[in-house]
Structure 1
Amino acid sequence: MKKLFLGMITASALTVVSCGPKSVAVTGPKYTSSEHLAQGKSIFENSCNRCHKLPDPAKHDDQGWINTLSRMAPKAKLTDEQHQMVYDYLISVNKK
């Protein structure tokens, strides 16, 4: 009985942890140097183009890119820094 009870508690704890909020790497602009923006462009072109046609940077406003990249960056296996550079590149060329 104790083993069953402990097993249920462990399963419940794992469920709560796995369903918790995911961290959002990007909350706004960070990098503005031409070097970082060029890296962001390169990452965008090379990583995103692997799975689908590149979207037009004007497709989303700044918040829209935060939402989209929060979903797509893990699929593209971007680090938090790469995620940030892609975001900063997109908003630098998008004047929405």
Structure 2
Amino acid sequence: MKKLILGMILGSAAMMVSCGPKSVAVTGPKYTSSEQLAQGKTIFENSCNKCHGLPNPEKHDDQGWIKTLSRMAPRAKLSDDQHQMVYDYLISVNKK
């Protein structure tokens, strides 16, 4: 009986953690140095191009890129810093 109760508690805790809010790594611009923007461009070209053609940076405004990258960065297995650098690169070349 104790094992059953313990199993139910652990199962419920695991479900609560997995269904909790996801952190958003990017909320706005952070990196502005040419080195970091160049890194962002390289990460964008190498990571995003593995699964699909590269989107035009003008496809989204700044908030649109936050939403898109929040969805795509985990799929590309980007760290929070890589995610930020890609975002900062995209908004630096975006004319919107």
The match for 2:18 is 18
Alignment of 1:1-96 (within 5 A): 1-96=1-96
Q: CA RMSD in A?
A: 0.9
Q: Distance in 2 between matches of 1:51 and 1:17?
A: 29
- Normalization by structure 1: what TM-score? 0.95
Q: Return the letter of the residue paired with 2:25.
A: A
- Structure 1 residue 27 displacement after superposition: 0.7
Q: Distance in 2 between matches of 1:5 and 1:90?
A: 50
Q: Return the letter of the residue paired with 2:11.
A: A
- Structure 1 residue 14 displacement after superposition: 0.4
Residue 21 of structure 1 aligns to a residue whose secondary structure is: coil
- Structure 1 residue 2 displacement after superposition: 2.1
Q: Return the letter of the residue paired with 1:80.
A: D
Unaligned stretches of 5+ residues in structure 1: none
Unaligned stretches of 5+ residues in structure 2: none
- Structure 1 residue 47 displacement after superposition: 0.7
- Normalization by structure 2: what TM-score? 0.95
Residue 86 of structure 1 aligns to a residue whose secondary structure is: helix
Q: Distance in 2 between matches of 1:11 and 1:60?
A: 40
Post-superposition, which runs of at least 4 consecutive aligned residues in structure 1 deviate over 6 A? none
Identity value in percent: 83
